[in-house]
Amino acid sequence: MLDLLIIGSGPAGLSAAVYAQRSNLDFKVAEREFLGTGQIARSFRVDNYLGFYGITGYDLGEKFRLHAEELRVPFHTGEVCACSRAGDGWKVDFLDGRHLEARALIWAAGTETRHLNIIGREKFEAEYIHSCAVCDGPAYDDKAVAVAGGGDTALDTALFMTNFCNQVYLIHWMDQFQGNPVTLKKLEDMPTVEILRGTSILMAEGGDRMERLVLSSGRRIRVDGLFEAIGARPCTDVLKNLTDLDPQGYIVAGEDGITSCPGIFAAGDVRTKQLRQVSTAVGDGANALYSVLDYLKSE
């Protein structure tokens, strides 16, 4: 049985891993995406992580991962699908049928994008509906796209897409945007951007390719692709009956990462907190690891 299994290799998980390696723990980091570095890889520019002004999110994530690899952190690629008590530790099952056992867990699985519920979604989601502009945006050179959402991610996505597209529709179901007003003003001033407030997307239409979106106003707009930026949900389904979750599904835990379930610790965006950012995730990883050390000593 391992001392510790860290679930997620985003900033929180990798930070915990660096501290775990330097504490000589017998541990592994489980990550569902091959060489994944978490959500930050989807940010096209990070201006608020100290020491790395203007770096791309992808490059920042790579730096985190390389740091862990330099220290020979052991990784296990697989998606955790269940977790149960095993003696004085935990048995963690993976979708591919494998399992690992550990005395303590740090749950650093972050959040994932919410999806729009629109007719035609299944037909187009694989190729024409996206959530990562950095990853998929360049494919829309000289094309038209819609961006759905009203927060910072939606505004940043729309702005980023103006680098490629001849037309960007920013569509928000509410009248007010929640994202940065400076970015919103920039978008309002751009001739290739049309902002549609108080509007929902009902349906995606087209033959082999996405061709149009049908809006709640009755209007049909011609688009080649759709980017969803309508918020996130915490990846905590596996923990539903093990730890206390808040009504949105975030793990109830302070910055020490201690949860209602002894032996399960939380770090990063998955836990109840004020600010979900790389800087707070990195701090959480370190703190949670220190709580794990105390826990393992007291066991």
Ligand X SMILES: Cc1cc2nc3c(=O)[nH]c(=O)nc-3n(C[C@H](O)[C@H](O)[C@H](O)COP(=O)(O)OP(=O)(O)OC[C@H]3O[C@@H](n4cnc5c(N)ncnc54)[C@H](O)[C@@H]3O)c2cc1C
Instruction: Kindly list the residues in this chain that would bind ligand X in the complex (CB under 6 A).
Output: 7-13, 30-33, 36, 38-40, 42-43, 46, 48-49, 79-80, 108-111, 153, 235, 268-269, 276-279, 281
CB of 211 to ligand X, least distance (A): 27
- What phi and psi, each to the nearest 5 degrees, are found at residue 136? -110, -10
CB of 235 to ligand X, least distance (A): 4
CB of 206 to ligand X, least distance (A): 26
CB of 49 to ligand X, least distance (A): 5
Give me 4's structure tokens.
Answer: 């510790």
The residue among 13 and 257 lying less far from ligand X, judged by its C-beta, is 13
CB of 10 to ligand X, least distance (A): 2
In DSSP terms, which residues pair with 221 in a beta bridge? 213
The residue among 215 and 239 lying less far from ligand X, judged by its C-beta, is 239
The residue among 62 and 205 lying less far from ligand X, judged by its C-beta, is 62
The residue among 12 and 221 lying less far from ligand X, judged by its C-beta, is 12
Q: Sort residue 102 into left (φ over 0), alpha (ψ -120 to 50) or beta.
A: beta
CB of 107 to ligand X, least distance (A): 9
Q: Which residues contact 205 (CB under 8 A, 6 or more apart)?
A: 120, 211, 212, 213, 214, 220
Q: Which of 298, 293, 248 is nearest to 273 (CA)?
A: 248
The residue among 134 and 139 lying less far from ligand X, judged by its C-beta, is 134
Q: Parallel, antiparallel, or unpaired for β 80-86 and 129-130?
A: unpaired
Distance, CA of 195 to CA of 174 (rounded, Å): 12
The residue among 99 and 123 lying less far from ligand X, judged by its C-beta, is 99
CB of 82 to ligand X, least distance (A): 10
- Helix, strand, coil % in the chain, rounded to nearest 5: 30, 30, 40
Distance, CA of 100 to CA of 28 (rounded, Å): 9
Map 218-261 to HEC letters.
CCEEECCEEEECCCEEECCHHHCCCCCECCCCCECCCCCCECCC
Amino acid identity for residue 109 in this structure: A
CB of 255 to ligand X, least distance (A): 13
Amino acid identity for residue 286 in this structure: A
The residue among 8 and 263 lying less far from ligand X, judged by its C-beta, is 8
The residue among 137 and 268 lying less far from ligand X, judged by its C-beta, is 268
In DSSP terms, which residues pair with 195 in a beta bridge? 170
Cβ atoms of residues 105 and 8 within 8 Å: no
